[in-house]
Structure 1
């Protein structure tokens, strides 16, 4: 049986985190979209104003997965929440329970921090992930559509502010 350990990422983990992000992007067929820069990542995760946190999952002492998350806020609940941006477990560690351990740690943090929910998005073709999440008791939000504003459209709208 494998020994699993979940720890908070440290500044010297930035290279590892970017490596995980690239592996995840390759799995999701989105490698061309990864432009993350190590110096920028270091500042955003560990600088004066951190924007996100990372958990590193280890199997038998070797880093094999990660979860990158940040807080959001539910006005309806009147409570903070945790949004899971990325969850990734290397194929060699799938089936060890590491994904469940990472999500379990996030759920524990959400409870400790008084959060009302833990949420994330999943690509609609990623059936293994969808099945995994459903086995944990997660429910899809079929009546919600996610929108995104990036690049030139983001800048154009930003220039409209008063």
Structure 2
């Protein structure tokens, strides 16, 4: 088996990230609209104290998946936690250890940044992801996620 490499994204890979985001939205049966995300993502990912982090999973020189995450604060727990915003792997990379390596990478980043917990969500219909996360020892909580969109721009 080829070596799985997990590392932080590089600026020249942001267009590939956008393509992956579009594929991820399609996989989750959601709409994806490209509104100049490239410049916004570059600005957010590559500043001194970024509000968003991104890692990519590589096989040889090809990006096989990505994950984005951010440090957030919980009022209830009065402590920081890492929020996993997205984790996506191309179909041929699923079940081969990429997801576990990504999760372990983000866990080490979370601990480095003073977070003792990671939180995320996945659609109920994504049985493979649910099995994967539970197999890593994660537990789920049933909640509804709401979206309230504003046309402030």
TM-score for both structures, normalised by structure 2 = 0.89
For residue 159 of structure 1, what is the aligned residue in structure 2?
A: none
Q: Report 1:25-44 matches (<5 A).
A: 25-30=25-30, 32-37=31-36, 38-44=38-44
Which of the pair is proportionally richer in helix? 1
Q: Residues 59 and 42 from structure 1, CA distance in 2 versus in 1: closer, same or farther, beyond 3 angstroms?
A: same
**Which sections of structure 1, spanning at least 5 residues, go unmatched?**
156-162
Change (3 A) 1:146 1:26: closer
Return closer, same or farther for 1:129/1:7 CA change in 2, 3 Å cut-off: same
1:121-160 aligned within 5 A: 121-142=121-142, 144-152=143-151, 155=152
RMSD between aligned residues: 1.7
Report how many residues are paired. Answer: 151
Structure 2 CA distance for aligned equivalents of residues 151 and 10 of structure 1: 31
Does the residue aligned with 2:125 lie in a helix, a strand or coil? Answer: coil
- Per-residue displacement from partner, 1:135-157 (whole Å, max 9, x unpaired)? 11111112x433332134xx4xx
The 3 A distance-change label for structure 1 pair 137 and 36 is farther
TM-score by length of 1: 0.84
Trace 1:9-158 onto structure 2 (pairs within 5 A). Answer: 9-30=9-30, 32-37=31-36, 38-47=38-47, 50-142=50-142, 144-152=143-151, 155=152
After superposition, give the CA deviation of every residue in 1:27-56 in whole Å (9 maximum; x if it has no partner): 1121x3333421122112224663201001
Distance 1:25 1:42 in 2: 20
Contact 2:56 2:63 in 1 (8 A): yes
